[in-house]
Amino acid sequence: MSDPVNVAQLPVLRLKRNEDRRLHAGHLWIFSNEIDTTQSPLVKFKAGELVRVLAHNDRALGLAYVNPQSLIAARMLETWTIPDAKWLVTRLSVALRLRERLYPKPYYRLVYGEADGLPGLVIDRYGSACVVQIGTAGMEALKPRIHEALSQVLKCEAVLFKNDSSARELEGLPSYVETALGSFDRPALVIEDGLEFDAPLAEGQKTGWFFDQAANRRTLSRYVRKGARVLDVFSYVGAWGVRAARGGAREVTCVDSSAAALELAAANAERNGHKIIARKGDAFDVLEDLAKQGERFDVVVIDPPAFAKRKKDLPKALAAYKRLNKLAIQALADDGILVSCSCSFHVSAEDLQEAIAKAARGAGRHLQILEMGGQAPDHPVHPAIPETRYLKAYFCRVNDGLK
């Protein structure tokens, strides 16, 4: 149990009238314009400081950590317990139970921020190695305890703090990559449905691997016919492409702007007994070249990075999704399958569907949406926080005979 004296001594963050309604509904974020700055001036708080949150009428709402430099000025912790290593051990253990129920092997996202009751914290597990990504000042203040708790729960042999995400800039935090335990000089092993991959944890994108797409890659297997030609755009280290090769594709082309990523994609294919064609270049340029050459594929996967990291980026992002999907559709053979993804929260499922529809009309082709996928269950959605649902994957069929 928490020490009530310690809790009582915490500084108070008071909200304006009626600004506690969203918190009562279960959301965990407090925006700067919701705070009664006449009684709780933000300038008096330190970034990452633990506070007691009170409604305007003094009703206690819980504990949060605050950051006066961020638009999201505070994040609730759904507890009255002072966060320490013991508290973190409990949260990590609860998260671990879910993943062990879902996955036979220890390759998954262990902690997914708010959805696991740990706002601003992401942990990916690669066997005995873990990559930790801290995105908020509050979690940065808990960094030593996070390491301690992680060691207790998993007894990790290697721990990497990959604290270089763009979210840290919004929190006023420095960007860095730090090896806390073990070595990350070589790529780490990832096992997904019997396939083995090397993932570059220290130098790679995000935390090194995209566990969130695992379920959608599994779905892809149903749509790859024996002898198919497959194009994997924004391929990174070949997760989609290698999956297609195992599904019976006779030819898989991986497109990425990174030569290092394509080298790993080729090595990952060979590791699993397959081969890919690696093509380095800008995705839009490569797709345009393929269209000019009259190339046609049975399956095209487009899994781009987030085009809309902020709400104000949405108009340009939607134009980019439309153009990208149009180019992809033009590269498809009749009866071909398009897998169109977006990891931008600000691009809704409806936005992406509309972009795909406009792209199909622009390409002069008939399109059917077969199914839609989202993030894998190791990225659970908090029911009161729509921001925790971000990944969309549309599986579509092009059939010109229906025009």
Domains belonging to the chain, first-starting first, are 4-76 (2.30.130.10), 85-185 (3.30.750.80), 189-402 (3.40.50.150)
- Look up residue 37 and give its DSSP letter: T
Q: How would you write the pLDDT of the chain (403 residues) with one tens digit per residue?
A: 344 447 888 999 999 999 999 999 999 999 999 999 999 999 999 999 999 999 999 999 999 999 999 999 999 998 898 999 999 999 999 999 999 999 999 999 999 999 999 999 999 999 999 999 999 999 999 999 999 999 999 999 999 999 999 889 989 999 999 999 999 999 999 999 999 999 999 999 999 999 999 999 999 999 999 999 999 999 999 999 999 999 999 999 999 999 999 999 999 999 999 999 999 999 999 999 999 999 999 999 999 999 988 889 999 999 999 999 999 999 999 999 999 999 999 999 999 999 999 999 999 999 999 999 999 999 999 999 999 999 999 999 998 876 6
Gap between the Cα atoms of 101 and 377, Å rounded: 11
Decide if 395 contacts 223 (C-beta within 8 A). Answer: yes
- Look up residue 213 and give its DSSP letter: G
Distances (CA, A) of 139 to 74, 126, 180, 325: 12, 22, 16, 38
Residue 76 main-chain phi, psi, to 5 deg: -70, 150
pTM of the model: 0.94
Give the residue numbers annotated as catalytic, written as ranges.
343
